[in-house]
Structure 1
Amino acid sequence: MGDSETPAERRESSALSTSTDESAPNTSSRRVDRRTALTCVGSVGYALGVGHYLGIDSALDPPDGTVEIETAYVRSDDGQLFGEPGSRTTLEPITRTVPADWYHRVETALDVHATLVRTQLPGYLNSAVVPGSYESGTVTLSIGVESDDLWSLPGDVASVLSRIGIEWDGTLEGIEIDIEDEDSIDELERDASPEPTQLVRNANVDPVPGGVRCAVSSSYATLTPAVYRSGEAEPLFATALHAFPGWDDSVGETLSLPTLVDRRPLTIGHVVDTLPDVDVAIARPVSAIRPGSVVGRTNGIPIAGQFTRWGLADLVARGESVAKIGGTSGRTTGDVHGIDAATCVTTDRCQGGQLKWGTEADISDGDSGSVTIYPDHDEVDGAIVASVNSARTWWPGQDHVWGVSAHTLTERHGYHF
């Protein structure tokens, strides 16, 4: 450990800090083509040293009719799961060949969506990109709008492009708009304290798995599996930042572990980095306690890596379900409803790069910080992380769980699973 400088301090002088003022409207007219959009995203990713996490590498020069995308990055199969030197510094891609028409339409929708989030038209609350099946080759932009401002967004993609100031150089066939009517939404609240289903039995558990309850001040949340800073082998704890009373003023706060044998929480770490834009707090372990790259209190599932943005799109296209193990509600499963999602209802800025999945019933108070995983990948021994869960919808008109995608956490802050 030996490094007195916290990740938050390192980020001040590092190129890993890439936040922009997403709240500033931008209505100037500009022309964008698909390749320019993807190349810009790729340039940012490679400047951060994490471009491969976005699934960009193989997508820039596709053969006719198909595109090879990188869907996930997984650790080398060295049998080490818990943070020994070398066990997380080498990551390898998993690829899939997909239809080019599907790929180009999803790419177009992602770029249009990014501009929509920045523009924030009147009444805009949240949105997501919903890839269609490979057979259909289509994609939908799902947009939530307050009832009183339903007029502000037209129902076709060409009109939306005009409204947000984009002159698009390309076809819009196969791209649809779905406008959802919603009521006003209150602020995000910290989780309450219902009875947990995922408590470790005693304080001697080694390593500490993800998916179990953790204590923060007077509140509770769920631990993620071990996270790692890019290029470093030390495993770190992580959970939901909003569980802490001070949000981004929580550096130094204690992270504790309740147990079945002794309900007095055991201190397992102290917060060293707070990431409000993704609702994640990072904590460095104390003494010999180790976070594990595994999720679940019993019969733990090893974590093999994480999805790229295109890997999440692939899950939606194939109609695959994901699962989560939370400290309160245990294991639940559900479908993915949208990628690259943005929620503009809980803070003074939009939280983007999220995953929408499942229903409100799939997460309970105390489950914030749990990860969404795909446990059934046929190319790896273990599960692949899709996202870190923040909350569920509590307003009429929508029914899902949302939280930051794992690739967004890496792209913005350099942490990965």
Structure 2
Amino acid sequence: MGDEDTRYRSRAVHDEPLGRMGRRRFVNTLAGLGFGALSASLLTADDVRAASSDEVPIVYGLTRDGTSEGDGSGGGPSGGGVRPRRKTVPADWYDDFRSAVAAHRNLDVIHHESVASSAVAPGEYGGANATIHVDITAEEVRGAVPERVRDTPVEVRRVERTRERELDADPAALRSGAPAAGEGVPGSVAVASDDLYGTLAPAMRDPKDGALYFATANHVFGGTGNGGESLYLLDDGRTEIGSVREGYPKSDVVCASPKAGYEPLHRIRDGDPGRVLGQFTKAGLADLKAAGEKLEKIGVKTGHTKGKIQAVDGVTCAYGAICKRGQLKWGEESGFGDGDSGSVNYHPDPDDPEAGVLVGGFNNARTWWPGEDYIWGTAAHHVTNKHGYTF
């Protein structure tokens, strides 16, 4: 059953005879009531019973199944499993959000040349409902965008058409500091290709075998055909720490195989806490936005900044040669500069905030034109869905 013909009435799950259902019927029942595919596949009947009658459970995050690999404690890869992080949210809010995501998918106005981007702004707890934001660069296309898609309002904003900015290839103004030899390499340190520099993400993992990889923004390597190119750590010089395994231009992510002696760490340098436990789901990001929680990032150019989530499930085509889906918009443009590309945004794990953080997504660019003010990049859940890697 697709989103187009799903009625979002998640609260009705409390009326279902869950105790008599097999697993397949349980998953199909949740999907039919409008639960997202990930939540439907990972929730249990006990999760539903634990929620009050006006609430429903969701999976807000995924953490690694095995906590020692790549965290600097000396453990090696221990398999690729993940564990769901669950919580309850108001059923009406969840239905409104899920309806908005489906409406955004059905809207599909991004193919218009003068539509720059579109995204879903999740509703607030006890406040405004979800809306779809559509940014246009020419007034004549406004009439092609409906005011509502089913029950979800659509807000259209005019922004200025602008050329791409030239990226800074001079690393002279970067924050200094690099990991000590033998300690592994955490995220939020300066890295470079032969031509451009950026910020290293914390370790990414292939769930199929638990192998760890370095990651940063694909545009640091200039787009396509970058397999085998060297990834350098900018310490006192340029130390080769790996080589590109594969680049993903549509997600603006590149993964690099580590060179012998250089271990990617599930850590963010100077983070407090700095340990990366996993990542947020799309619903988890929407929940943070609804609660007014802020994301953080540490980049090698602008350092540590914080900002609120503005929109999820974004699509942007105007600012780059390739349309990008799964975009997360957050913060303010002043919190990002050339050299911060490849860093990640994150938030303490709501289940155990002292233990570590969950990643929201990559930071790949910022606005530089009148009418908008945010940082954007590909959400971690989209990278996982499209390419398999997890934090």
TM class by smaller structure = 0.7 to 0.9
TM-score by length of 1: 0.78
Q: Is the aligned partner of 1:288 residue 2:261?
A: yes
What letter corresponds to residue 70 of structure 1 in structure 2? V
| 1:2-401 mapped onto 2 (5 Å cutoff) | 32-35=4-7, 54-57=38-41, 65-76=54-65, 78-80=67-69, 81-82=71-72, 84-87=75-78, 89-117=80-108, 120-121=111-112, 123-136=114-127, 138-154=129-145, 156-157=147-148, 161=149, 172=151, 175-187=152-164, 189-194=166-171, 195-200=173-178, 204-245=181-222, 247-259=223-235, 262=236, 264-297=237-270, 301-375=274-348, 377-379=350-352, 381-401=355-375
Partners of 2:140 and 2:177 lie apart in 1 by 45
Pair 1:190–1:56, CA change in 2 (3 A): farther
Partner in structure 1 of residue 376 of structure 2: 402
CA apart distance, 1:78: 4.0
Q: Secondary structure at the match of 1:134?
A: coil
Moved more, 394-403 or 347-356: 347-356
Partners of 1:298 and 1:322 lie apart in 2 by 12
CA apart distance, 1:35: 4.9
Partners of 2:98 and 2:365 lie apart in 1 by 27
Partners of 1:275 and 1:358 lie apart in 2 by 24
Q: Is the 8 A contact 2:81 2:207 kept in 1?
A: no
Partners of 1:232 and 1:390 lie apart in 2 by 27
Q: Secondary structure at the match of 1:149?
A: helix
CA apart distance, 1:345: 1.3
Partners of 2:138 and 2:109 lie apart in 1 by 21
Q: Is the 8 A contact 1:127 1:341 kept in 2?
A: yes
Pair 1:135–1:86, CA change in 2 (3 A): same
Partner in structure 2 of residue 19 of structure 1: none
Q: Is the 8 A contact 1:117 1:342 kept in 2?
A: no
Q: Is the aligned partner of 1:412 residue 2:386?
A: yes
Cα deviations by residue, 1:131-186 (Å, 9 ceiling, x for unpaired): 111223611111111133353345621xxx4xxxxxx5xxx1xx322211101132
The gaps in structure 2 that reach 5 residues or longer are 11-26
TM-score by length of 2: 0.83
The gaps in structure 1 that reach 5 residues or longer are 1-29, 162-167
Partner in structure 2 of residue 9 of structure 1: none
Partners of 2:58 and 2:385 lie apart in 1 by 17
CA apart distance, 1:110: 0.5
Q: Is the 8 A contact 1:123 1:152 kept in 2?
A: no
Aligned-pair identity (%): 34
Pair 1:191–1:88, CA change in 2 (3 A): farther
Partners of 2:56 and 2:259 lie apart in 1 by 46
Pair 1:298–1:120, CA change in 2 (3 A): closer
CA apart distance, 1:119: 5.4
Cα deviations by residue, 1:315-367 (Å, 9 ceiling, x for unpaired): 01111000001111111100000011111113344201011000111111100
Moved more, 66-75 or 82-91: 82-91
Cα deviations by residue, 1:240-264 (Å, 9 ceiling, x for unpaired): 111113x1111011000111xx2x2
Pair 1:154–1:343, CA change in 2 (3 A): closer
Partners of 2:83 and 2:42 lie apart in 1 by 13
Partners of 2:3 and 2:347 lie apart in 1 by 38
- RMSD between aligned residues: 2.9
Q: Is the 8 A contact 1:84 1:233 kept in 2?
A: no
